[in-house]
Amino acid sequence: MIVIVDYGLGNIKAFSNMYKRMNVDARTARSADELDGATRFILPGVGHFDHAMELLDKSGMRGALEDAVMNRKLPVVGICVGMQILAEGSDEGRRTGLGWIPGRVRAMACLPLGNSMPLPHMGWNDVRPVGAQPLFAGLETDARFYFLHSFYFSPANENATAAVTHYGADFACAVNSGNVHGVQFHPEKSHHWGARLLKNFAEF
């Protein structure tokens, strides 16, 4: 059972609708009790890093999520800001992140040529998986996804980079460490490429 963590951010309905069209069991959770029975989690998010961490803490679900992901090793994928809060912290704010993947969220303007590129990075862009990535099965070539962001995840270990995209310079647009996955783009807005990625996650 896929559980979409509804802590107040992200297009929850879009994920539910995509899985409904695939005939994949998925439901939302707004409390720790509603996380019970999950076999994997989607952690969505939009907006500001600190606001996302504040809402997740207030939801009462953080402890149960950390137990499920870090102790019981259930798969999770963070989407957009949901990916960024997997990091230890962000240049965008002051709060400490979940720290499930070592690294820090940096401003896109810090990239080479970053100051010369329009920000936020918005629209469609190519995504190139790094090595064999189950999340990107069938998406090894010609995959395009929709982006809307001004910050990116810089993993402490380059082996945690699961995919890259180019915007003035290459940057990690997807990360992975064991059962923890994150993507900066929006699969729920990315047509058949996004549907394939979400289906892959359901079938790990």
Q: Which residues are catalytic?
A: 80, 186, 188
In the block, tokens 């918005």 appear at 122
The string of DSSP codes covering 164-198 is EEESSSEEEEEEEETTEEEESSBGGGSHHHHHHHH
User: Are the C-beta atoms of 81 and 49 separated by less than 8 Å?
Assistant: yes
Query: Does the N-terminal peptide bond of residue 118 adopt cis geometry, omega within 30 degrees of 0?
Result: no
User: Are the C-beta atoms of 119 and 109 separated by less than 8 Å?
Assistant: yes
Phi, psi (rounded to 5 degrees) for 146? -95, 130
C-alpha–C-alpha distance, residues 48 and 120, integer Å: 13
The pair of structure tokens assigned to 203 is 């079938």
Instruction: Tell me the β-bridge partners of 183.
Output: 79, 174
Phi, psi (rounded to 5 degrees) for 143? -85, 135
Q: At 191, which amino acid appears? A: H
